[in-house]
């Protein structure tokens, strides 16, 4: 029988201090997911990154994160969530030092990988600890704080990144994590109690670990590298672990990786079902997905994260390279999202008294999708930054509403003793969406640039076709930073008097591609809204009421697994 080995923490006055420490640790890893984006133009120039390198630096953190979250959640249940949290913070600090000391794309990506491993220990530990430490109305407030931290810190990341890059140097976007790590570890030792859960099942699901991590890793690798290696026809050699996939091969490695990733994830589901049927330990109890709230809530979380992080990948490149803002200026524009998010966090509790949480989620997602679409409409090479900031404030308001309530809605029917698994699945959905956001939206941007840039540059008089092709390729490969370089050269550059016209053409082409990608991001947010309408609001309300009465929610007979299996 499952038993939760937790003290009577509801009466423990440390729980609010513990929430503060957990929120600080959460802030650190969320910031690191967005602080890099606005600094990418500077990092690209300093380390000589190409477009694919930039995508990997921005997304490999989320890829590793997503691959290991389910494993980490299960380890936290077994070994202790506080122990996992501290271990994750230590690894995260080490990865931050490696990234700050990077001198090439490879060393920077290695640092980001280590950060991702550490972050994978931090995130599910914070969420499952909150789910365990709080009951009733306090749990609703705690989840609102947790969600507001995610949305607010994600929006503040670009401002902090822009300030650090402008006032100091780009390595400080990683070094800033070190004092925070020390404060989090000290606070954890003082105020965060240890919690864990035992389910009585023997052994550890090694097959599940390999299949889930491998499946997610291959899937996102294929989406990120599709432009580089070719979606079907091989464009260049792939060198990995001493082996080479040659351009002479009949097919690119990308469709093979896609197929292998999907097969591994399918095998993961089959293995988990078989192990659960014979009472063996599993990484995820798939009966959690029998709850429509859990299923559609996680679907919404994945789609929304895809749109949100795709937006945060594209906008900094547009603001710096097309509008000519400094990294600090771009950070200020993007940070206005945080004002809307924090405002929404303050309004959420009052709204929660008058309507179900899922309705607040729907309102938030509608605002997000709508304001991103409006941003796409107005985005040109000459758009005023204040107008973009105003629209992003509206987007941030929706972000705050959705994030503050989506987590609690997803976990409303998850029993306390399954906090680790439920939290890890929910976090995985977010992180897979984050990784796919940079991959899908970044890939779409690259495709659009290949079409829009030639249309504009070819019309510039005085530029030979060969030079025009070189300008287009340099701009696409550098994710737009070549425009800023050309702008700085002025008429003293190799293009002479044709430089201003060339810069204007490149700006127009990049802006047009940006509009397309923003519409795509808005579309993913709209799909998340559709998924949110599949979440049964009345059942969520019943579950919340049951929790507030004390203890775990009683599962709905139509949507919950049998008690013996849970």
Q: Which structure tokens are listed for 305?
A: 């994260």
Helices (H) and strands (E) in the chain, counts: 19, 4
Mean predicted lDDT score pLDDT of the chain = 80
Whether residue 496 is contained in a domain is answered as: no
Strands 238-240 and 3-5 come out as: unpaired
**Counting beta carbons within 10 angstroms of the beta carbon of residue 9, is it exposed (0 to 12), middle (13 to 18) or buried (19 or more)?**
middle
Q: Among 227-231, 234-238, 467-471, whose mean pLDDT is lowest?
A: 227-231
The answer, yes or no, to whether residue 466 has pLDDT greater than 90, is no
The pLDDT score that the predictor gives to residue 111 is 94
75: left (phi over 0), alpha (psi -120 to 50) or beta: alpha
pTM over 0.85: no
Pairing assessment for the beta strands 196-198 and 238-240 based on DSSP bridges: unpaired
Who's near 86: CB < 8 A, 6+ residues apart? 185, 188, 189
CB neighbours (10 Å) of residue 494? 9
Backbone angles phi, psi at 196, to 5 degrees: -155, 170
Is the pLDDT at 175 greater than 80, yes or no?
yes
Count of other CB atoms within 10 angstroms of residue 391: 23
Of the three residues 262, 281, 300, the one that is the final residue of a domain is 281
Distance CA 564, CA 566 (A): 6
One domain, residues 100 and 153: yes
The H or E element containing residue 256 is: helix 253-277
| pLDDT, mean of residues 153-164 | 77
Residue 81 has pLDDT above 80, yes or no: yes
Confidence of residue 185 (pLDDT cuts 50, 70, 90): very high
Q: Is residue 463 part of a domain?
A: no
**Residue-level length of the chain:** 566
The answer to whether residue 497 sits within a structural domain is no
**28 and 112 part of one domain:** yes
In a domain, 259, yes or no: yes
Contact 72, 473 (CB under 8 A): no
Domain span at 189: 3-201+282-450+511-548
Rounded to whole angstroms, the Cα distance separating 491 from 489 reads 6
Please choose, from the candidates 65, 60, 67, 161, the residue with its C-alpha nearest in 3D space to the C-alpha of residue 105. 60
Q: Residue 565: how many CB atoms within 10 A of its CB?
A: 13
Residues 266 and 307 in one domain: no
**Domain-located, residue 486:** no
Q: Measured between alpha carbons, how far is 469 from 454 in angstroms, rounded to an integer?
A: 7
The answer for residues whose C-beta is within 8 angstroms of residue 247's C-beta and 6 or more apart is 234, 235, 236, 237
Strand partners, 239: 244
Q: Is the domain of 91 the same as that of 216?
A: no
3-class secondary-structure state, position 197: strand
Segment holding 245, helix H or strand E:
strand 243-245
Closest among 252, 300, 321, 247 to 37, alpha carbons compared: 321
* The pLDDT value given to residue 180: 92
Q: How many domains does the chain have?
A: 2
Q: What is the DSSP string of 207-244?
A: HHHHHHHHHHHHHHHHHHHHHHH-SSS--S-EEETTEE
Q: 60-74, 124-138, 244-258, 340-354: which has the highest mean pLDDT?
A: 244-258
The pLDDT score that the predictor gives to residue 137 is 67
- So what's the pLDDT on residue 6? 40
Query: Nearest-CA neighbor of 308 among 108, 145, 158?
Result: 158
Give yes or no: residues 185 and 206 share one domain: no
Q: 13: domain CATH number?
A: 1.20.1250.20
Please check whether residues 404 and 332 belong to one and the same domain.
yes
Task: Indicate if 162 and 270 belong to the same structural domain.
Answer: no
Q: How far apart are CA 152 and CA 344, in angstroms?
A: 10
pLDDT digits over 52-73, tens only?
Answer: 677 778 767 777 877 787 788 7
Is 498 a domain residue? no
Q: What's the rounded Cα separation, in Å, for the pair 421 and 444?
A: 33
Whole-number pLDDT of residue 118: 94
Q: Are strands 243-245 and 238-240 parallel, antiparallel or unpaired?
A: antiparallel
Last residue of one domain, picked from the residues 281, 310, 341: 281
Domain limit, last residue, from 281, 313, 338 = 281
- Whether 277 and 299 share a structural domain: no
In a domain, 491, yes or no: no
Alpha helices by DSSP H, listed for 136-205, are 136-167, 172-175, 177-191
d(CA 486, CA 477): 15
Are residue 265 and residue 294 in the same domain, yes or no? no
Give the pLDDT band of residue 389 (cuts 50, 70, 90): very high
- 3-state secondary structure (DSSP) of residue 298: helix
Indicate if the pLDDT at residue 260 is higher than 90. Answer: yes
Same domain (yes/no): 169, 289: yes
| Shared-domain flag, residues 441 and 520 | yes
CA–CA distance, 388 with 376 (Å, rounded to integer): 10
Q: What is the pLDDT of residue 90?
A: 96
Q: Tell me the range of 151-155, 423-427, 540-544 where mean pLDDT is highest.
A: 423-427
75-103: average pLDDT: 92
**pLDDT at residue 11 tops 50:** no
Q: Which residue has better confidence, 147 or 444? A: 444
Does residue 30 or residue 59 have the better pLDDT?
A: 30
Structure tokens at 189: 């030792």
Whether 493 is in a domain gets the answer no
CA dist., res. 366 & res. 525, Å (int): 8
Do both 383 and 517 map to the same domain?
yes
Ordered DSSP codes for 469-509:
HHHHHHHHHTTTHHHHHHHHHGGGSTTGGGHHHHHHHHHHH
Residue 434 pLDDT more than 80? no
| Token representation of residue 239 | 């060198």
């Amino acid at each position: 029988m499952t038993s939760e080995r937790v003290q009577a923490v509801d009466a423990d006055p440390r729980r609010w201090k513990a929430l503060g420490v957990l929120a600080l640790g959460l802030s650190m890893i969320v910031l690191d997911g967005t602080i890099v984006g606005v600094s990418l133009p500077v990092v690209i120039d300093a380390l000589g990154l190409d477009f694919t390198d930039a995508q990997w630096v921005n997304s490999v953190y989320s890829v590793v994160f997503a691959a290991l979250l389910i494993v980490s959640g299960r380890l936290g249940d077994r070994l202790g969530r506080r122990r996992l949290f501290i271990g994750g913070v230590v690894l995260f600090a080490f990865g931050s030092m490696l990234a700050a000391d990077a001198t090439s794309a490879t060393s920077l990506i290695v640092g980001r990988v280590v950060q991702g491993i550490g972050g994978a220990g931090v995130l599910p530990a914070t969420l499952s600890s909150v789910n365990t430490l709080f009951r009733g109305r306090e749990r609703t407030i705690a989840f609102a704080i947790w969600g507001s931290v995610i949305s607010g810190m994600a929006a503040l990341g670009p401002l902090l990144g822009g300030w650090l890059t402008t006032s100091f140097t780009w390595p400080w976007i990683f070094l800033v994590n070190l004092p925070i790590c020390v404060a989090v570890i000290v606070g954890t030792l003082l105020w965060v109690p240890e919690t864990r859960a035992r389910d009585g099942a023997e052994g550890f699901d090694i097959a599940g670990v390999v299949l889930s991590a491998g499946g997610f890793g291959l899937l996102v690798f294929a989406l990120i590298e599709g432009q580089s290696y070719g979606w079907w026809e091989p464009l260049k050699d792939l060198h990995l672990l001493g082996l080479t996939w040659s351009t002479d091969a009949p097919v690119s490695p990308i469709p093979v990786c896609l197929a292998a990733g999907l097969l591994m994830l399918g095998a993961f589901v089959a293995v988990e079902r078989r192990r659960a049927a014979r009472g063996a330990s599993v990484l995820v109890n798939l009966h959690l997905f029998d709850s429509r709230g859990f299923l559609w809530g996680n679907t919404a979380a994945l789609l929304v994260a895809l749109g949100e992080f795709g937006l945060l990948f594209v906008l900094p490149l547009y603001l710096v390279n097309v509008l000519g803002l400094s990294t600090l200026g771009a950070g200020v524009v993007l940070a206005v999202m945080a004002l809307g998010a924090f405002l929404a966090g303050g309004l959420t509790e009052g709204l929660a008294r008058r309507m179900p949480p899922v309705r607040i989620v729907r309102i938030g997602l509608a605002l997000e999708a709508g304001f991103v679409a409006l941003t796409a409409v107005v985005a040109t090479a000459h758009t005023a930054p204040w107008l973009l900031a105003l629209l992003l404030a509206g987007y941030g308001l929706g972000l705050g509403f959705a994030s503050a309530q989506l987590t609690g809605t997803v976990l409303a029917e998850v029993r306390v003793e399954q906090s680790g698994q439920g939290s890890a699945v929910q976090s995985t959905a977010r992180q897979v969406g984050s990784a796919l956001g940079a991959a899908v939206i970044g890939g779409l941007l690259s495709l659009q640039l290949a079409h829009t840039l030639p249309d504009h540059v070819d019309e510039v008089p005085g530029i030979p076709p060969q030079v025009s092709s070189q300008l287009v390729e340099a701009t696409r490969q550098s994710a737009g930073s070549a425009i800023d370089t050309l702008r700085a050269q002025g008429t003293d550059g190799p293009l002479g008097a044709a430089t201003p016209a060339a810069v204007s053409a490149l700006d127009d082409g990049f802006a047009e591609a940006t509009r397309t990608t923003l519409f795509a991001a808005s579309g993913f947010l709209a799909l998340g809204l559709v998924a949110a309408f599949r979440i049964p609001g009345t059942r969520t309300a019943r579950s919340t009421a049951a929790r507030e009465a004390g203890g775990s929610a009683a599962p709905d007979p139509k949507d919950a697994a049998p008690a013996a299996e849970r």
